C-alpha cells in the first residue's frame, strides 16, 4: 500500500494552442488542469504526455511506468500511431488502468478495447448538464453530491454504441432532451477502464471541484492491481486422467 499510483495524463494539446477561447480556459492545456487535481493526492505520482511529443510521449518505458493513463483526445484521433495504440492495448490488458475522457469515446484505443463503433448523438449548444449518481456505493462516487451540475456543456446523447458497462455509475441529463451513460466501468484483461463523459474544450469543466473529485476517484479505482500472473500455455492435468 506504500507504493504510489503512477498516473500519466495524455492530451492532444492542439485546441489550446490554436483556439483563443480554449486557451483562455486552459492556458497550460487540459492535461495540466487534470494533472493539477491529481497532484494534490499524496499517494499519486503524476506526469503528462501529449500528441506532438516523440511517440506521443508514450514510449514503452513511460507506459511500463504507468498505473493509470488518462486520455483526452478530440480532433486528431487518426494522428495517433497504430504502434502506440497496440502498445496501450497490451498495457491495459496486462493491468494498466485507462480513464477515457469525453471525446476519447472516438479514440483509437477506446474503440479497440470496446469492439464497437462508440458512436453517439451530439450538439454543441451549451446545454445545462446534470450528472446523476446511480451507484452511490461505488468508490468513484466518494464525496460527491447526488448530481453534479454543469452550467454549460456539449451534449452527448444515447444510443451510445458501447458494450453494456460492468458497472454504470453516472447518467447525464441534458436540458435539450437527451440522456447519456456518463460514467462507465469496465474490466478488460487485467486492466480497468472508466469512461467519463464531460469535458468539452470550450467549457471550464475540468475546473469544477466535483469533476476533480471524480478524476481522483477514478484514478484510484482504475489503478493497477497486483493480481495473479496468468499462464496461457498447454497445461498438465492435476493427476493422470487414466
Number of residues in contact with a copy of itself, rule: CB under 8 A? 79
Which of these ranges, 5-13, 15-23, 47-55, 190-198, lies near a copy of itself under the rule CB under 8 A?
Answer: 190-198
Neighbours of 10 (CB within 10 A): 32
Give the max Cα distance, the chain: 75
Q: How far is the CB of 72 from a copy of itself (least distance, A)?
A: 21
Site for a copy of itself in 110-169 (CB under 8 A): 112-117, 119-123, 125-128, 130, 132-139, 141-146, 155, 157-161, 163-164, 166-168
Considering beta carbons, is residue 29 or 97 the nearer one to a copy of itself? Answer: 97
If binding is defined by CB under 8 A, does position 106 make contact with a copy of itself? no
> Mask: binding to a copy of itself, 86-105, rule CB under 8 A, as x and -?
---x---x-x----------
Angle at 113 between CA 48 and CA 60, to 5 degrees: 40
Nearest residue to 96 via CA among 10, 211, 212, 202: 10
> 81 is written with which cell numbers?
500511431
> Mask: binding to a copy of itself, 48-87, rule CB under 8 A, as x and -?
----------------------------------------
For residues 127 and 205, give the distance between their C-alpha atoms in angstroms, rounded to a whole number. 13
For residues 107 and 110, give the distance between their C-alpha atoms in angstroms, rounded to a whole number. 5
Considering beta carbons, is residue 54 or 228 the nearer one to a copy of itself? Answer: 228
Are the CB atoms for 66 and 39 separated by under 8 Å? no
Amino acid at each position: 500500500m506504500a507504493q504510489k499510483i503512477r498516473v500519466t495524463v495524455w492530451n492532444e494539446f492542439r485546441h489550446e494552442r490554436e483556439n483563443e477561447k480554449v486557451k483562455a480556459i486552459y492556458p497550460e492545456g487540459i492535461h495540466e488542469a487534470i494533472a493539477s487535481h491529481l497532484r494534490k493526492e499524496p499517494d499519486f505520482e503524476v506526469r503528462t504526455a501529449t500528441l506532438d511529443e516523440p511517440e506521443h510521449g508514450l514510449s514503452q518505458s513511460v507506459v511500463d511506468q504507468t498505473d493509470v493513463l488518462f486520455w483526452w483526445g478530440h480532433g486528431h484521433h487518426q494522428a495517433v500511431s497504430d504502434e502506440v495504440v497496440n502498445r496501450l492495448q497490451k498495457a491495459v490488458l496486462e493491468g494498466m488502468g485507462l480513464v477515457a475522457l469525453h471525446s476519447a469515446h472516438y479514440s483509437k484505443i477506446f474503440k479497440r478495447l470496446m469492439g464497437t463503433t462508440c458512436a453517439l448523438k451530439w450538439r454543441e449548444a451549451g446545454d445545462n448538464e446534470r450528472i446523476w449518481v446511480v451507484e452511490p456505493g461505488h468508490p468513484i462516487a466518494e464525496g460527491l453530491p447526488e448530481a453534479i451540475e454543469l452550467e454549460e456543456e456539449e451534449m452527448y446523447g444515447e444510443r451510445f454504441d458501447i458494450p453494456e458497462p460492468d458497472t454504470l455509475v453516472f447518467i447525464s441529463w441534458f436540458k435539450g432532451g437527451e440522456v447519456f451513460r456518463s460514467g462507465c466501468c469496465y474490466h478488460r484483461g487485467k486492466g480497468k477502464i472508466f469512461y467519463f463523459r464531460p469535458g468539452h474544450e470550450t467549457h471550464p469543466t475540468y475546473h469544477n471541484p466535483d469533476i476533480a473529485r471524480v478524476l481522483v476517484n477514478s484514478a484510484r479505482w482504475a489503478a493497477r492491481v497486483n493480481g495473479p500472473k496468468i499462464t496461457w500455455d498447454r497445461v498438465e492435468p492435476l493427476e493422470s486422467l487414466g
